[in-house]
Structure 1
Amino acid sequence: MIKAGKCKVWVPVPGLFLIFVLLVPVLVLLGYHMASRPHVLLVREVNSGRELRVGYINQGEKFEIRYIHSVDRLPVYEEFQLINGELVLTGTRFLSFGAGLGYTGEGLLRGEGKWNIIEGMYRRVGSLPLRVGTIADHTLLYRGREIHLGDHFDGQALVRIEVK
């Protein structure tokens, strides 16, 4: 700070200005890199910590979980999407309004043949806990693959589907 009469004039220190000019682009690039880095979709057994690494998942990419409903024994599909680094339930489809499958007003319900379809949901789930079903045959539908969780974890094991 230099005093010139009654006015105070700020004169930047060249070294600090140079650090600021160089640091800002580096921070911007680092933020871009962190936002665009690939995420990994995995299933983690809660008790043992054992992980099944499903594969990389990109922002906006979708996958489904298919299972057999325990009451009506019909298939249910739930669609998830990676949005802003977290899992979001975006839709579901099922043949019958079995226990727990009622329409709650979230998204748009429509019929297509025998299917009840709810689209346009936006339910942030973070990580998805589930018990690997012995009847349900929980299956991840990911990039054209079917991954049966019962092939990798014991029946009734508590797992979390998450993105890291």
Structure 2
Amino acid sequence: MRRRRVLSALVGGALVSPLVATDVTVLRLADPRTGETLGVERVEEGDRFAIHYVHSFDKTPIREVYEVHEEGIVQIREEFEYHAIGLEYTERNQTREDGFTVLHMDRRLDTFTVRVAKYTDQTLIINGEERPLSAYTDEWESIRFAVERVNSLRYLHYRLQTL
């Protein structure tokens, strides 16, 4: 009986150890107050994701584009039809593409937080998929976006929390 337990422990350890030893990079969406995982996506260095929304006052589309870096998240673009309240303003690093003004940026962020609006649709676009931010949490609640390097077991734990 003791041999069976030892053998089971060895087999279990052999199955779990690669999960503990293998690191992955994830984009983790979490409740900033509780730390609860709201969503998680595997990402790689240089991957991009975006948040699209409609400006609450001017009712024009806004697209914010971010890139994954080892040190965190970098906002690389902000796209809008025309300048509106609350948007970045600069006359430098600006182009016009397909009817949008594009601000080319290099805004380094460790993490950032977005409040889910009630009166405008906000959509996360990542890995070719679109998902409304309201699918992650209730309106008026916030979501913290962070890039983390975790072992595969932690990644699986995060995934299970979001099911």
TM-score by length of 2: 0.71
Q: Is residue 144 of structure 2 the alignment partner of residue 155 of structure 1?
A: no
CA distance in 2, matches of 1:113, 1:82: 25
Tell me, in whole angstroms, the C-alpha distance in 1 between the residues paired with 2:28 and 2:106: 21
Does the aligned pair in 2 maintain the 1:72–1:96 contact within 8 Å?
A: no
Counterpart CA distance in 2 for 1:130 and 1:56 is: 20
Alignment-mate amino acid for residue 100 of structure 2: W
What SS does structure 1 have at the residue aligned with 2:118?
A: coil
Structure 1 Cα separation of the partners of residues 124 and 116 of structure 2:
12
Q: CA deviation at 1:105?
A: 4.8
Question: Gaps (5+ residues) in structure 1?
Answer: 1-33
- 1:85 to 1:37, Cα distance in 2 relative to 1, 3 A: farther
Equivalent position to 2:40, from 41, 44, 54: 54
Show CA shifts across 1:43-102 (max 9, x none).
111233321233111011111111111111111101100122310001111112110124
Q: Which amino acid aligns with 2:50?
A: E
Structure 1 residue runs of 4+, over 6 Å off? none
1:82 correspondence with 2:41: no
Change (3 A) 1:61 1:113: closer
Tell me the TM-score normalized by structure 1. Answer: 0.71
Equivalent residue for 1:98, pick from 78, 84, 92: 84
Q: Kindly tell me the number of residue pairs found equivalent between the two proteins.
A: 128
Structure 1 partner of 2:100: 115
Partner-residue secondary structure (3-state), 1:135: coil
Structure number with larger C-alpha Rg: 1
Structure 2 gap ranges (5+): 1-20, 149-163
Of the three residues 129, 144, 155, the one matched with 1:145 is 129
Per the alignment, residue 28 of structure 2 pairs with 42
CA distance in structure 1 between the aligned counterparts of 2:88 and 2:34, rounded to whole angstroms: 34
Q: Aligned residue for 2:17?
A: none
Give secondary structure in 2 for the equivalent of 1:150: helix
Taking only the aligned residue pairs, the percentage that are identical comes to 27
Deviations 1:126-160 (A, max 9, x none): 11111111123221100110121112211110221
| Contact in 1 for aligned 2:25/2:147 (Cα 8 Å) | yes
CA distance, structure 1, for counterparts of residue 67 and residue 23 of structure 2: 16
